[in-house]
Structures are given as C-alpha cells and as structure tokens.
C-alpha cells in the first residue's frame, strides 16, 4: 500500500499568484495513500499569510513561517514537517493539473531504483509572447520551463523546483537545501535553489528519472517578459553557476578580459549589429557578468559588474523595459553567456 506523500512550497510576497496555485490544488485528485501540503511563509510583507489561512480548511495544509529570507531556508523548514516516502516540490506560482499527484505517485512506485524525478513545466503566458521570447532565450533559465522530452533516465539538472519529486530516503543523514543559494530578498541572488541540491544528491549516487505525466504550468508575469528582467535573470543564473563551481567555457582570467573588452566596445558596436546578433551578445554578456561576479564573491571580493539595482550592465539599445521584437531565426547563444561603461 502506498504511503502518504508531502507537497512542499515556499512563498515570499507571493500573494499575486499564490491564490491561483492553491485553488488548483483544491481540485487535485487524491493519490493512493493520501497527501499533505506544507506551505512556508518566508517573511512575507503582503497578504500571503492571510491567503494561506483562508485555505487551511480547504486543503490538507500545514502552515509554517520562516523568518530568514531565502527559499531554501523555507524548504528546510518544511522538511521538518514532511511525512511519507515521497516529497513533491513546487513553487507558489504554478498551476498543477488535477491528476498531478496521482501521476507522481504512479511514477515513483513504478521506478523504485530512482530517487529523483523531473516533471513537466510549461509556461502560462499572460499574453501571446513575442517571437524573441519563444526563440531567443533559454526557457529553462528564464522561465523555469522544460516541456516534454523523452521519458526515462536523465541528468539531475533536468529537475526544476517548479515540479520535481525526491524520495524521503534521499534526505537521510540530514541532507538539506543550501540556504546560501536560490531566491531571497537580495536583488541579485545566485540562482540554483534546487540545482545545488540535486547535483549533490547525484554525486551521492541517487539516480534521476524524467516523467512526462506529472505536469504544471508556470505563471509568467508580464514584467518577466521584459528584456531588462530577462537579462537580470541571466546575470543571476551566471552568478549561481559560479557559486556552484560549474565550469565556464573560459578560464577566469580570460573571462575577465573578455568582459572588460565588451564593456569598452559594446557602446559602439551594439549600434552596428542587427537586432538578433546584438541581443545574442547582450544575453551572453549578462550571463558572463554574473559568472565573473560570482567567482569574485567566492574569493571574498566585491562584485565588479552588478549595479545598485541588482542588474548587470546593459547596452543602451536594450534598456527599454518593454519587449523589442526580433526577426525570427536561430536562438541566441546560451554560454558561456549592462548601463554602458
């Protein structure tokens, strides 16, 4: 007989989306063995707490608070209240399908030799996205979306915090999320909340499986489709890569020289490139700025590229927050991958 499974999520000032996430969960089909939801209010200053309270009688909900800013601190708090053999993780801005937990229960029971499971996350757009959003950014980095793929064994990096499951036994011995990485109140936090954990678990021998059946939609807010927001996310992703010691295409000194060269040349060259080429270079540079700053922080040095608002340096043609259409074509380069200097 299947055991109960626990769903965990953290929310910091998520009132604008949390209601929709919880409402979808009220329509959830009951998995074999039952389920519970552990939701952590991570030092919110909006109405998150009241929304959670309103759903206390509508869901098998355990409400917690975590005063330390940081999604991973909140998830570690949730792990203390988790029950059963399977832990399912999602964010406060996803809309799960009604059979979501039934599918997770079935996937875990059918693949007992695997401890980590990646599910499908599709973007839920606020309006029809422009072509550059669909073709010229990495949807995994920018929108935490992965879509369908071949079902079966996968790299641990296929797991996204929007929709993943990990067996309880993987947390034996005190394994926990790293509180120094992932979403927090900081303006330019290093991305990698769940990535750091699953890479560590993979190194310990826990195997991963990709499943297409458990599906959620990730709510995309309008501001997240603006170029400045996209570039800021690229910067945070690069910073997280450095903090996790994931190798870059270039050696550190070469990366520093390349970033300085771009800083000097891009104010002129960006006016000469076509839209697509310019955007590809700006996207790559935002990531590289984050990676270099992450390396510097790991060495105890101050960040070089991050501005006071937490964003990277951006060429003038991309400082307009609105979406600038691009011609269709091949996607921009991801790797290594901004006021003008």
| 283-325 pLDDT, tens digit each | 999 999 999 999 999 999 999 999 999 999 999 989 876 555 4
Asked if the structure places residue 274 within a domain, the reply is yes
The predicted model gives 11-31 an average pLDDT of 97
210 vs 212: CA distance, rounded Å: 7
- Taking only the tens place, the pLDDT of each residue in 211-220 is 999 999 999 9
Q: Specify whether 96 is located in the same domain as 39.
A: yes
Asked if the structure places residue 326 within a domain, the reply is no
Count of CB atoms within 10 A of residue 11's CB?
A: 25
Q: What's the pLDDT score for residue 326? A: 37
Give SS3 for 220: coil
Asked if the structure places residue 150 within a domain, the reply is yes
Q: pLDDT band at residue 230, thresholds of 50, 70 and 90?
A: very high
Count of structural domains, the chain: 2
The predicted model gives 327-341 an average pLDDT of 35
Q: In Å, what is the CA distance from 235 to each residue of 130, 253, 314, 336?
A: 22, 18, 11, 11
Q: What's the pLDDT score for residue 2? A: 61
Are 95 and 291 contacting, i.e. CB atoms less than 8 angstroms apart?
no
- Taking only the tens place, the pLDDT of each residue in 96-155 is 999 999 999 999 999 999 999 999 999 999 999 988 888 888 999 999 999 889 999 999
Q: Specify whether 164 is located in the same domain as 187.
A: yes
DSSP one-letter code for 69: S
Q: What's the pLDDT score for residue 133? A: 86
Q: What's the pLDDT score for residue 329? A: 34
Q: pLDDT band at residue 198, thresholds of 50, 70 and 90?
A: very high
Q: Specify whether 268 is located in the same domain as 211.
A: no
Residue 89 pLDDT exceeds 70:
yes
Q: Specify whether 18 is located in the same domain as 159.
A: yes
Asked if the structure places residue 331 within a domain, the reply is no
Q: Specify whether 213 is located in the same domain as 230.
A: no
pTM of the entire structure?
A: 0.91
Element (H, E) at 122: strand 116-124
Asked if the structure places residue 10 within a domain, the reply is yes
Write down which residue in 179, 199, 222 finishes a domain. 222
Residue 158 pLDDT exceeds 80:
yes
| CATH label of the domain that carries residue 108 | 3.90.550.10
Q: What's the pLDDT score for residue 341? A: 39
Q: Specify whether 262 is located in the same domain as 164.
A: no
Q: Specify whether 86 is located in the same domain as 203.
A: yes
Nearest alpha-carbon partner for 167 in 159, 178, 25, 74: 159
Residue 57 pLDDT exceeds 80:
yes
The predicted model gives 252-259 an average pLDDT of 97
Which domain covers residue 38, as residue numbers? 5-222
Q: In Å, what is the CA distance from 42 to each residue of 76, 109, 136, 147?
A: 11, 32, 33, 29
The predicted model gives 15-22 an average pLDDT of 97
Write down which residue in 172, 204, 222 finishes a domain. 222
Count of CB atoms within 10 A of residue 190's CB?
A: 27
Residue 338 pLDDT exceeds 60:
no
Q: What's the pLDDT score for residue 321? A: 61
Q: What's the pLDDT score for residue 130? A: 87
Q: What is the CA radius of gyration of the chain?
A: 20
Q: Specify whether 157 is located in the same domain as 286.
A: no
Mean pLDDT rounded to a whole number for the chain: 92
Q: What's the pLDDT score for residue 319? A: 83
Q: Specify whether 142 is located in the same domain as 74.
A: yes
Q: Specify whether 211 is located in the same domain as 310.
A: no
Alpha-helix runs per DSSP H in the chain: 15-26, 48-54, 71-79, 100-110, 131-135, 139-143, 193-203, 227-243, 252-269, 275-298
Q: Specify whether 253 is located in the same domain as 279.
A: yes
């Amino acid at each position: 007989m299947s055991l109960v499974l626990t769903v965990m999520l953290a929310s910091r000032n998520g009132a604008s989306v949390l209601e929709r996430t919880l409402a979808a969960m009220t329509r959830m089909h009951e998995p074999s063995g039952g389920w519970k939801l552990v939701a952590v209010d991570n030092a919110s200053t909006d109405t998150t707490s009241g929304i959670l309270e309103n759903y206390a009688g509508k869901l098998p909900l355990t409400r917690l608070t975590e005063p330390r800013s940081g999604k991973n601190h909140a998830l570690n708090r949730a792990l203390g209240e988790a029950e059963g053999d399977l832990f399912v993780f999602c964010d406060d801005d996803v809309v799960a399908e009604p059979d979501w937990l039934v599918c997770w229960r079935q996937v875990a029971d059918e693949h007992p030799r695997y401890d980590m499971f990646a599910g499908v996350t599709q973007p839920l757009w606020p309006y029809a996205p422009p072509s550059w959003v669909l073709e010229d950014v990495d949807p995994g980095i920018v929108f935490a979306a992965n879509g369908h793929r071949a079902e079966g064994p996968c790299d641990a990096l296929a797991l996204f915090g929007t929709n993943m499951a990990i067996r309880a036994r993987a947390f034996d011995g005190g394994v926990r999320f790293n509180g120094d990485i992932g979403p927090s109140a900081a303006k330019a936090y290093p991305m990698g909340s769940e990535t750091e954990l699953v890479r560590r678990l993979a190194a310990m021998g826990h195997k991963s499986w990709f499943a297409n059946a458990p599906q959620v939609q990730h709510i995309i807010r309008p501001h997240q489709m603006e170029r400045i927001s996209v570039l800021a996310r690229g910067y945070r992703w690069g910073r997280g890569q450095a903090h996790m010691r994931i190798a870059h295409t270039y050696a550190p000194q070469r990366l520093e020289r390349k970033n300085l060269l771009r800083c000097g040349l891009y104010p002129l060259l960006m006016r000469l490139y076509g839209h697509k080429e310019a955007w590809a270079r700006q996207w790559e540079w935002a990531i590289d700025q984050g990676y270099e700053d992450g390396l510097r922080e790991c060495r105890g040095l101050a960040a070089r590229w991050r501005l006071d608002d937490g964003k990277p340096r951006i060429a003038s043609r991309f400082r307009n927050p609105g979406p600038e259409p691009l011609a269709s074509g091949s996607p921009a380069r991801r790797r290594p991958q901004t006021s003008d200097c």
